[in-house]
Amino acid sequence: MRVALVCPYSLSVFGGVQTQVLGLAEAFRSLGHEVDLVAPADGPLDLDGLRVVGSSIRIRANGSVAPISPWPPAWRRTLRAVEAADVVHVHEPFVPGPSLACLFQTVPVVGTFHQSGFAWPYTVASPVARWLGRRIAAPVAVSEAAAAMVRRPLGRPVEVLWNGVSSPGPVEPIEARRPTISFLGRHEERKGLGVLLGALSKLDQTGEGQTGEGQDVEVWVMGEGPLTAQLQDRFADDRRIEWLGKVDDAERDRRLAASDIYCAPNLGGESFGVVLLEAMRFGTPVVASDIPAFRAVARPERSEGQLFPPGDEAALAGVLQRLLSDDDHRARIGAAGAERAAELSMEQLAQRYDEIFNRVVRAVE
C-alpha cells in the first residue's frame, strides 16, 4: 500500500508531532508499505520519501511555537504529492497548511489529532470543523484528552490510540559520577523545568555524602528555549546542574539509559506523555506531574511511575528523595515502566494504524 504521511509542522524543527511522523514512517516501511513524507522543511533533509511542500513560519500555539506553512503554494504541492497514494495519514488535520489541504482531495484520509485543551477551531468554529471532518474516513486521537476535544465538533466517534516510541537498540549509557536526574524538553513555562530546579534546594541536606548545595546528585538538563538564559541565571550557583543544550538522539538515549530518575515536571497543555516513554523504555523510573496525559501513560496504580501535584516543588522534592534513597523501589518502578513502554511501542502503533488503513481502503473499493 502507498501511504502519504502528512505533517503540518516543519521537519527541520524538533517536536512531538514531527517525532511521531518520522517514527511511523519507519514502522510503516517495516510493514511493507511505500511511504511518502509530505511536510514543510526549512533546509535540506536526508529523509527517505520526503516531499517538501514549503518553508515555515513560527506562530504561538498552545503555549509553544508551531512551525507551519499556510501558504497557497504549500497547499498545491501537497495535493500533487498525495494524489497517487492509496491512503493519506494526516496529523493535526485542522492545522492550516498541508494537513488541512488534504481534506480537499479524494484519497481516503485517516486523521490523527494530537492537541488537547482549548482550541478555537473545535469550539468557536465547531460547524466548520464538523463540515471539514466529513472528509476524514477514520478520526483518531492520541489520548482521551485529545479525543474529548474533537468528538463533539466532529459529531462522531473518535478512536483513541497513543503516541508510540521506537524500541531502543543497543545503547552504552554515559557514566555518571553521582545519582542522576534528567530532564528533556523545551525550556518554556509549561514544561516546568523551573519546578524541578527549584525542588533541588529542598532535597534532604543532612545525609552522608552531601555537598553544601543539598543532596549530592547530578541533574542533566537537555534542550533549550526562551527561558534558558533566565533559568541559568536564577540557578547559577547550583553546580549540580549540567546544561547540555540540544542533544542528538544518540546522546539523548545514552543519558536517559544512565539516569537514576527521569523527571517531567510539566504544568499542563500536554495531550500525551511520549517523553515519559522515551525514558521508560530503558527501564529508567519516571517522576512526573499529575496531569491527565502523564497519568494515562505512567499509571501510578500499577507502579509505572511516581506522580506529584503540578508545580509543587516540595512534593516533587519528597518524591525524588524517597526514590533516591530506595534502590529496590526505583528498580520496581523502572521494570514496570519498561513493560508499559513495550505496550505502547511505535511498532505496535503502526500495526493498529495498518488495520485502519486496510479498513478505509476497502470501504472505497
Same domain, 330 and 195: yes
pLDDT, one tens digit for every residue, the chain (365 residues):
999 999 999 999 988 899 999 999 999 999 999 999 999 999 999 999 999 999 999 998 666 789 999 999 999 999 999 999 999 999 999 999 999 999 999 999 999 999 876 555 556 557 888 888 999 999 999 999 889 889 988 989 999 999 999 888 889 999 998 999 999 999 999 999 999 999 998 986 434 434 345 568 999 999 999 999 999 999 999 999 999 999 999 999 999 999 999 999 999 988 899 999 999 999 999 999 999 999 999 999 999 999 999 999 999 999 999 999 999 999 999 999 999 999 999 999 999 999 999 999 999 97
Same domain, 64 and 142: yes
Pairing of strands 180-184, 159-160: unpaired
Which among 14, 40, 91 has a CA at the least distance from the CA of 271?
Answer: 91
Domains contained in the chain, number: 2
pLDDT number for residue 208: 41
Burial class (CB in 10 A: 0-12, 13-18, 19+), 342: middle
Same domain, 339 and 350: no
pLDDT number for residue 214: 57
What is 254-274 written as a DSSP string?
A: HHHHH-SEEEE---S--S--H
Would 91 be classed as within a structural domain? yes
Q: Is the separation of the CB atoms in 65 and 59 below 8 Å?
A: yes
DSSP state of 123: T
pLDDT number for residue 206: 36
Same domain, 76 and 221: no
d(C-alpha 160, C-alpha 47), whole Å: 29
Would 171 be classed as within a structural domain? no
Same domain, 36 and 160: yes
pLDDT number for residue 211: 39
H/E segment holding residue 358: helix 346-364
Same domain, 215 and 332: yes
Same domain, 89 and 67: yes
Same domain, 303 and 351: no
Same domain, 149 and 31: yes
Query: In CATH, what number is assigned to the domain containing residue 290?
Result: 3.40.50.2000
Would 184 be classed as within a structural domain? yes
Would 128 be classed as within a structural domain? yes
What is 8-64 written as a DSSP string?
A: SB-TTS--HHHHHHHHHHHHHHHTT-EEEEEE--SS----TTEEE----EEEEETTE
Would 172 be classed as within a structural domain? no
pLDDT number for residue 269: 84
Would 174 be classed as within a structural domain? no
Same domain, 295 and 334: yes
Taking the complete model, does pTM exceed 0.75, yes or no? yes
Would 43 be classed as within a structural domain? yes
d(C-alpha 293, C-alpha 327), whole Å: 27
Burial class (CB in 10 A: 0-12, 13-18, 19+), 31: middle
Could you tell me the residue range of the domain that residue 21 belongs to? 2-164+346-364
Strand runs labelled E in the chain: 2-6, 34-39, 50-52, 57-61, 64-68, 87-91, 109-113, 138-141, 159-160, 180-184, 218-222, 241-245, 261-264, 286-289, 306-308
Would 261 be classed as within a structural domain? yes
Same domain, 324 and 193: yes
Same domain, 114 and 229: no
